[in-house]
Chains A and B, each alone.
Chain A
Amino acid sequence: MIEINKINKWYGDFHVLQDVDEVIEHGQTVVICGPSGSGKSTLLRCINGLEPFQKGEILVDKTSVKDPKTDLYKLREKIGMVFQRFELYPHMTAMENITLAPRKVRKWSKERAQDKAMELLKRVGMVDKADAYPANLSGGQQQRIAIARSLAMEPAYMMFDEPTSALDPEMIKEVLDVMVELAKAGMTMLCVTHEMGFAKEVADEIIFMDKGKIVERGTYDDFFNNPQTDRAKLFLSQILD
């Protein structure tokens, strides 16, 4: 369980997160949407300690992210993260990208890490690209490898930071299919995305953020059919064009 308790973050004078509260239960899929600059990505980065925050508290399985005694490296092992621009290691093959952390962090043998990687490559439909370098893969393929890389650490949680917004339209579906499959298999997921089809299919809750605040939350139907705020109505009309 991830408990976010009234966190506040400033970049200088800019109040990027304001009293953000949220609880993500085990097995849930939460979709975060909102206009750019609303603090969605920053929120994800606070959860795994990539960014510090000044006030409030985040607990991941009762472990405080903020506590200086917390081993953030250990904590991150159980929170996978997928980025907008894939961020595969360009000097390594798909296989090497996936096996690096299990081998160096978990100290798995090469064989064990490769077995796990093959299993994941199968899951994301990329077995034939195991030896390809990122530069020779399409965006959709790179993102599926990036998902496999995160899953290789057998995380309890997966965070997605706009995983399809850098993709050509015809590649979005292949990535969303992987994410849907993951959500249906019971992974606890936190997804920053504007893909409402995805939200409809798997989201247990949708959070709408604006200017660093959560301004609406609810099920897909609540949010989509009955948005409460003008900001959310405007946002929905824009993304549904």
Chain B
Amino acid sequence: MFDVIGRNFVFLMGGLLTTFELAILALAGGIGLGMLVGLARLSKNPWIYYPITAYVNLLRNIPLILVIFWFYFVMPIITGDAMAPFPAAVIAFVIFEATYFGEIFRAGYQTISKDLTAAAFSTGMTYSQTARYILIPIAFKRMAPSLITQSIVTFQDTSLAFVIGLTELVRRSSIVDNMEVRSIELYGFAAFVYFIVCYTGSQISLYYENKAREVNLI
């Protein structure tokens, strides 16, 4: 019954590779940008606070699939050049996920007392040094479970990139399905692969949560 998987295994795993590539770039960009978005959301400078807050509120209230669509179809109008699905998906994911990661980081920064920041300033450290060596690492550790959960969600969300023709795992399953009409096996297999990856991720999350508790970081 699952011979269809065996015959198309290499093709399907190629899709999984694309899924991983997209997820890794989306996470690296989303988390990196999210650290800064979180800082901006706590900024006292209105020129930083209001535009970033508007960006976060806008993106968090639009379904991801529309952000992907919008980006893919609007960017060519702005730049005059059609964009390949993969870079379009990466950019759409980064700007979308950065808002979610940004809110997680903001919550993390808010657990840090103002006097801790004052202590860093009192040793002559600049704001960017304080952010880099104190605020971001502490927020990262304290928010590790939430960050991993959001990363798992991001990994699952990458399947939405199939709507702009990116041949990731789900897209490739549907391509095979169109030829062989074996929907249950193919989508069942795709779901199984997602489950394995995400379940492993959630177990890692649990491990770090317990570890953080041991050193009183949470």
Contact = CB atoms under 8 A, between A and B. Distances in A.
Contacts of B141: 91
Given A104-B133, A133-B215, A135-B215, A87 B116 contact: yes
Given A73-B125, A90-B217, 15 more contacts: A48-B122, A76-B124, A79-B122, A85-B113, A87-B118, A88-B119, A89-B116, A89-B134, A91-B137, A91-B217, A101-B123, A104-B129, A105-B123, A135-B215, A150-B123
A89 B117 CA distance: 9
B138 A153 contact: no
B216 interface: yes
B138 A91 contact: yes
Contacts of B137: 91
Contacts of B121: 48, 50, 73, 76
**Lowest 3 CB-CB distances: which A-B pairs, in order?**
A77-B124, A101-B123, A81-B122
Nearest to B141: A91
A175 to B, nearest CB: 16
Interface size class of B (residues with CB under 8 A): 20 to 34
A105 B129 CA distance: 9
A150 B122 contact: yes
Interface of B: 113, 115-116, 118-126, 129, 133-134, 137-138, 141, 215-217
A45 interface: yes
Contacts, number: 72
Nearest to A74: B124
Contacts of A105: 123-125, 129
Interface residues of A, number: 29
A146 B120 CA distance: 11
Q: Is the interface of B mostly helix, strand, loop or mixed?
A: helix
Contact of B119 (A73, A79, A87, A133): A87
Contact of B124 (A84, A90, A135, A153): A153
A83 B134 CA distance: 17
A149 interface: yes
28 contacts: A50-B118, A50-B122, A74-B124, A77-B123, A77-B124, A79-B122, A80-B122, A81-B119, A81-B122, A85-B113, A87-B115, A87-B119, A88-B119, A89-B134, A89-B138, A90-B216, A91-B138, A91-B217, A100-B125, A101-B120, A101-B123, A101-B124, A104-B125, A104-B129, A105-B123, A105-B125, A149-B123, A150-B123
B126 to A, nearest CB: 5
Interface in A126-158: 133, 135, 146, 149-150, 152-153
Given A83-B118, A85-B115, A105-B129, A135 B216 contact: yes
Interface string A149-170: 1101100000000000000000
Contact of B113 (A79, A87, A100): A87
A100 B217 contact: no
Contacts of B126: 73
Contacts of A146: 119
A179 B98 CA distance: 47
Contacts of A89: 116, 120, 133-134, 138
A83 B113 CA distance: 12
Nearest to B122: A81
A22 B93 CA distance: 57
A74 B125 CA distance: 9
Q: Which of B119, B122, B125, B215 has the most CB of A within 10 A?
A: B122
Contacts of A45: 118
Interface in A65-116: 73-74, 76-77, 79-81, 83-85, 87-91, 100-101, 104-105
Q: Which of B118, B119, B123, B138 has the most CB of A within 10 A?
A: B123
A131 to B, nearest CB: 13
Contacts of A87: 113, 115-116, 118-119
